[in-house]
């Protein structure tokens, strides 16, 4: 209890694959749901990341606290 977790994932508009492998994509609420009710979603942010190949990929960051 009282611990923090910060997780970065591909966002809902992120790629379907990364390095040829399928990926999971999450909106903040869906990612928070993966941790269950023990965790409170404190804040979240989205970022558009540009790869070296020039492709834009959406990332979502979530900060949760365990109760």
CB neighbour list of residue 67: distance below 8 Å, 6 or more residues apart = 1, 38, 39, 40
Domain boundaries, the chain: 4-66
pLDDT-derived band of residue 52, with 50, 70 and 90 as boundaries? very high
pLDDT of residue 31: 96
Rounded Cα distance, 52 and 41, in Å: 32
Closest by alpha carbon to 60, among 39, 31, 33, 22?
Answer: 31
pLDDT of residue 24: 97
Using one digit for the tens of pLDDT, what is the confidence trace for 3-50?
999 999 999 999 999 989 999 999 999 999 999 999 999 999 999 999
């Amino acid at each position: 209890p009282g611990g923090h977790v910060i997780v970065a994932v591909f966002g809902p508009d992120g790629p379907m694959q990364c390095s040829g492998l399928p990926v999971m994509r999450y909106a903040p609420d869906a990612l928070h749901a993966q941790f269950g009710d023990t965790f409170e979603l404190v804040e979240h942010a989205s970022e558009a990341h540009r790869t070296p190949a020039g492709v834009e990929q959406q990332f979502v960051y979530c900060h949760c606290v365990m109760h």
